[in-house]
Structure 1
Amino acid sequence: MIRVYHSGYEKIREPDVHRGRKNADLGQGFYTTDKREFACRWAREKTGSDIYVNTYELELEGLNIKKFERNEEWFRYVFSNRRSMPDYLSEYDVIIGPIANDTIYDTLGIMTSGYLSDDEAMKLLCVGPCYHQITLKTLKAAEHLRFVSSEILSGDDIEANKKIMEVDEEQYLSEFTRVMEELN
């Protein structure tokens, strides 16, 4: 059993695995992380809405799980999902893998324009820290998830997370620039 976290604008006791975007990194599903601090940083402010961090326990026993590392197989799966292709790993209940670090630049979009090769795009997606997402893909996976608690982030927490994200983005841009210069 592992503890996982999901941030958003509401308390979610019973997640809907069919609600998420189909073109997200690991396809449609309910996205969580095993790092609470990352879930807190991932949340974005929305006028008139609180930011909730929901905590769950996920029983992995009995689930079909696919785990990715930052490699070509992961890159191909993310690329396929971002292009809204059919999910060729639909037999898995849970997919665990790194977040594709292209929140500032649409690396995969640049790749499809012909500006970047697959290898170059993969190098750019691997820039920065490696945060993992744990995506519940099936109803069976959702049944293995137990709601523990929910908390609303305070204004001080939100401000502290913004500062951490600013530093992360500065480091990301610096590293991204370095890798782009190496590619040219």
Structure 2
Amino acid sequence: MKLYHGSTEIVASPEIRDANRPLDYGSGFYTTTSFEQATAWVKRRMKEYKKDKGYVNIYEFDETNFDKFNCLLFQSPTDKWVDFVMANRTQIKFIHPYDIVYGPVANDRVYAAFALYEGGVLDKQSLINELKTYRLVDQLLFHTEKSLKALNFIGYEEVTL
């Protein structure tokens, strides 16, 4: 499985880093199977940090390795996915036991829907039904050092604005 990570740096040796803000799946190293998603992410960061170029880092992950780790895999938005994302986004220092978490990305449109849910405007099933109408990109979080060892850097592509 090819995975991508957008950054303003070449990341040949990924690290587990604590987030400076609440994230969908907690702290760790985020990747996606979507080159386009990684490119869009790095372009946002380039604008934010006023950088002329960035990088889509490319990795290989052997899918048979999922069996070697404690994984939480979401194929689509579900009750459990909503609860997990909300716990990571609202509970300070929320800790989970998973080495790897895979599932949909809560992008800007999804954040808006989550805000409606959090504010009581949408119930959980309405939120899930709404999210199922979106074209959601995936994300794969490597949450532990053990899991990061299964990720192999194979190169990068330079990105410019």
TM-score range, shorter chain: 0.7 to 0.9
Indicate the residue corresponding to 2:14 in structure 1. Answer: 15
Indicate the residue corresponding to 1:63 in structure 2. Answer: 69
Instruction: Provide the C-alpha distance between the structure 2 equivalents of 1:13 and 1:94, rounded to a whole number of angstroms.
Output: 19
Indicate the residue corresponding to 1:121 in structure 2. Answer: 127
Instruction: Provide the C-alpha distance between the structure 2 equivalents of 1:22 and 1:28, rounded to a whole number of angstroms.
Output: 9
Deviation at 1:26, TM superposition (A): 1.3
The answer to whether 1:83 aligns with 2:90 is yes
Could you tell me which amino acid in structure 2 is paired with residue 30 of structure 1? F
Deviation at 1:42, TM superposition (A): 3.0
Of the three residues 128, 134, 137, the one matched with 2:143 is: 137
Deviation at 1:77, TM superposition (A): 0.6
Deviation per residue, 1:26-52 (Å, 9 max, x gap): 111111011223322333132234121
Q: Secondary structure at the match of 1:106?
A: helix
Of the three residues 49, 53, 57, the one matched with 1:50 is: 53
Which segments of 5 or more consecutive residues in structure 1 lack a partner in the other structure? 156-184
TM-score (norm 2): 0.81
Contact 1:7 1:52 in 2 (8 A): yes
Higher strand share: 2
Q: Secondary structure at the match of 1:119?
A: helix
Could you tell me which amino acid in structure 2 is paired with residue 118 of structure 1? K
Which segments of 5 or more consecutive residues in structure 2 lack a partner in the other structure? none
Instruction: Provide the C-alpha distance between the structure 2 equivalents of 1:97 and 1:21, rounded to a whole number of angstroms.
Output: 21
Instruction: Provide the C-alpha distance between the structure 1 equivalents of 2:18 and 2:155, rounded to a whole number of angstroms.
Output: 21
Instruction: Provide the C-alpha distance between the structure 2 equivalents of 1:102 and 1:38, rounded to a whole number of angstroms.
Output: 13
Structure 2 vs 1, CA of residues 143 and 154 (structure 1 numbering), >3 Å: closer, same or farther?
same
Indicate the residue corresponding to 1:36 in structure 2. Answer: 35
Deviates more, 1:101-110 or 1:44-53: 101-110
TM-score (norm 1): 0.72
Q: Secondary structure at the match of 2:130?
A: helix
Question: Rg: which structure is higher?
Answer: 1
Deviation at 1:104, TM superposition (A): 7.1
Q: Alignment RMSD, CA only?
A: 2.3
